[in-house]
Structure 1
Amino acid sequence: MQRKERLRQMVAAIVGQGGVEVETLAKLFSVSAATVRRDLEVLEKQRLVTRTRGGATTHASFNDLPLSYKTEQDTLEKRHIAREALKFLADARVIGTTGGTTVSEFARLLMDRDGLTIVTNALNVATFLVANPRLRVFSAGGEVRSSSQETVGPTAESFMAGYNIDVAFIGVDGVDAAAGCTNYDPVGARVNAVLREQARVSVVLADASKIGRVALAQVCKMSDVDVLVTDSRASEIALASIRAQGCQVLTV
């Protein structure tokens, strides 16, 4: 296993359990304790974990994995979700997007499009799509979240509120029938909420790992979402509860 992948999985293990011992990580990744300690030092410098005596815990300021760590998770499923979402472009002239890895995969599929206007608060999406001169790209200002490369705050909210969107493609951290769509960052959740409110149709793109998860701040109720596109690994019980809220669910 390459170090980059080991670091990604190590962060996921520590976040998932809240804290892990060095010896446990050494056995999990079949490396020496010295190698684990060096890896933890790297992750601590990135403010993802805090080293403790004999192990590591989630860093106090941590609320989400950086985009670079999430990009390689469930890549195939995210690409399938992105392709399924293309069907909602049929009559759209103006679309809005948030950031996130699944939405970013969707954005990559727009490079061969003509005459489409994209409104986004994701810097990576805007930077990628502006290379196509046949697209019009409008990018929100505001504070930039380093973990997701999205702009957030009052400036981004006001920007989003100024556009009439045909279809919004929204990435979230959690999707639950009772809690709705949620994000770890309350400020980012508000920007997503404004984008959804400005759209005639809202499409949430979320892989199966997000289904049933509840993050800190609500973006919207499930009844406010028109379509959820996810993958076939998601719990059918959870999806049935989401459908009961009036949200169309597509699985790939």
Structure 2
Amino acid sequence: MSRDARWKALLELLVERGRLEVEQAAGELDVSAATIRRDFDQLAEQQMLVRTRGGAIVHGVSYELPLRYKTARRASEKQRIAKAVAGLVAPGEAVGLTGGTTTTEVARALAVRPDLAAGSPALTVVTNALNIANELAVRPQFKIVATGGVARPQSYELVGPLANGVLGQITMDVAVLGVVAFDVVHGTAAHDEAEAAVNRLLCERAGRVIVAADSSKLGKRAFARICPTDAVDTLVTDTSADQETVRGFEEAGVRVLTV
């Protein structure tokens, strides 16, 4: 396992559990304890975790794993969700994409759709995510509109008044929203309030809103609300979603697709 892959795995385990011991992590990743100690020390230097005696804990009370460290966690679910979401977009539409791992997969699924291989444009994509704009900019059949703003290193999303200025001047057919939490009562949410504000405006400027979220995000709450549940038209999630939670969304008027 490469160092980068090992770091990603360590950080994902840490986010899940809150605390990791050196011997425990070494056993799970099948490497030496000395390697894990060195990894913990180097990640602590980058303020990605806090070193403790014999292990590490997450950095801070509310922890957001930077996008560059989010890898294959629930990768197959996200790819299925992304393909289904891409199928809900019609050629010629203007599509808004927020940042995140699942929406990045949506962008990739749109890029390989055969019926979007040509057009003038085949699709207009509006995004505040630098990584999505970068991936799709090489597709000449897509018109890419980046919102502008100040980049958040955790998510590669552009936020702030510059982003608001662009979004206030355009309309979209559909907004695809990536979230860290979606609860029937409390709506969709993100960790960061500036990110949530831009995503909220993206939703307000769209004719319909699709939430692309794996089942681990459902029934959860996060710090900054993006939009209420009644603003969401469709939720696309995976088949592991709790059936009672799914029924709650459906009773609230959300169309739910499980894939």
Class of the TM-score when normalised by the shorter of the 2 chains: over 0.9
Structure 1's unaligned 5+ residue stretches are none
State the partner residue of 2:78: 78
Further displaced range: 41-50 or 222-231: 41-50
Is the aligned partner of 1:166 residue 2:177? no
Structure 1 position 71, deviation (Å): 3.3
Structure 1 residue identity aligned to 2:162: T
Aligned-partner Cα distance in 2 for 1:119–1:84: 19
Structure 1 residue identity aligned to 2:230: S
Is the aligned partner of 1:145 residue 2:149? no
Q: Is the 8 A contact 1:181 1:220 kept in 2?
A: yes
Structure 1 position 212, deviation (Å): 2.0
Is the aligned partner of 1:232 residue 2:220? no
State the partner residue of 1:132: 139
Q: Is the 8 A contact 1:170 1:203 kept in 2?
A: yes
Structure 1 residue identity aligned to 2:94: V
Structure 1 position 72, deviation (Å): 1.9
Q: What secondary structure is seen at the aligned counterpart in 1 of 2:87?
A: helix
Cα distance change, pair 91–132 in 1 and its aligned pair in 2 (3 A): closer
Is the aligned partner of 1:120 residue 2:127? yes
How many residue pairs match? The answer is 252
Structure 2 residue identity aligned to 1:103: T
RMSD (CA atoms): 1.9
Q: What secondary structure is seen at the aligned counterpart in 2 of 1:138?
A: strand
Q: Is the 8 A contact 1:88 1:167 kept in 2?
A: no
Is the aligned partner of 1:100 residue 2:100? yes
Structure 1 position 127, deviation (Å): 1.1
Deviations 1:62-110, CA, capped at 9 Å, x for gaps? 6311212223222111111111112321265211111111111111123
Q: What secondary structure is seen at the aligned counterpart in 2 of 1:250?
A: strand
What TM-score, normalized by structure 1, do the two folds share? Answer: 0.92
Q: What secondary structure is seen at the aligned counterpart in 2 of 1:109?
A: helix
Q: Is the 8 A contact 1:208 1:233 kept in 2?
A: yes
Identity in percent: 40
Q: Is the 8 A contact 2:40 2:56 kept in 1?
A: yes
Aligned-partner Cα distance in 2 for 1:139–1:12: 29
Following superposition of structure 1 onto structure 2, how do residues 1-252 of structure 1 map, counting pairs within 5 Å?
A: 1-60=1-60, 63-90=63-90, 93-111=93-111, 113=116, 114=119, 115=121, 116-252=123-259
Further displaced range: 205-214 or 116-125: 205-214
Structure 2 residue identity aligned to 1:218: R
Q: Is the 8 A contact 2:149 2:158 kept in 1?
A: yes
Structure 1 residue identity aligned to 2:150: E
Cα distance change, pair 92–177 in 1 and its aligned pair in 2 (3 A): farther
Structure 1 position 61, deviation (Å): 8.2
Aligned-partner Cα distance in 2 for 1:110–1:46: 35
Q: Is the 8 A contact 2:147 2:167 kept in 1?
A: yes
Structure 2 residue identity aligned to 1:13: L
Deviations 1:145-180, CA, capped at 9 Å, x for gaps? 112111011211222222111011111111111221
Aligned-partner Cα distance in 2 for 1:27–1:132: 44
Further displaced range: 60-69 or 157-166: 60-69
What TM-score, normalized by structure 2, do the two folds share? Answer: 0.90
Structure 2's unaligned 5+ residue stretches are none
Q: What secondary structure is seen at the aligned counterpart in 2 of 1:232?
A: coil
Structure 1 residue identity aligned to 2:253: G
Aligned-partner Cα distance in 1 for 2:17–2:109: 36
Q: Is the 8 A contact 1:48 1:62 kept in 2?
A: no
Q: Is the 8 A contact 1:166 1:200 kept in 2?
A: yes
Structure 2 residue identity aligned to 1:74: R
Q: What secondary structure is seen at the aligned counterpart in 2 of 1:89?
A: coil
Cα distance change, pair 130–91 in 1 and its aligned pair in 2 (3 A): closer
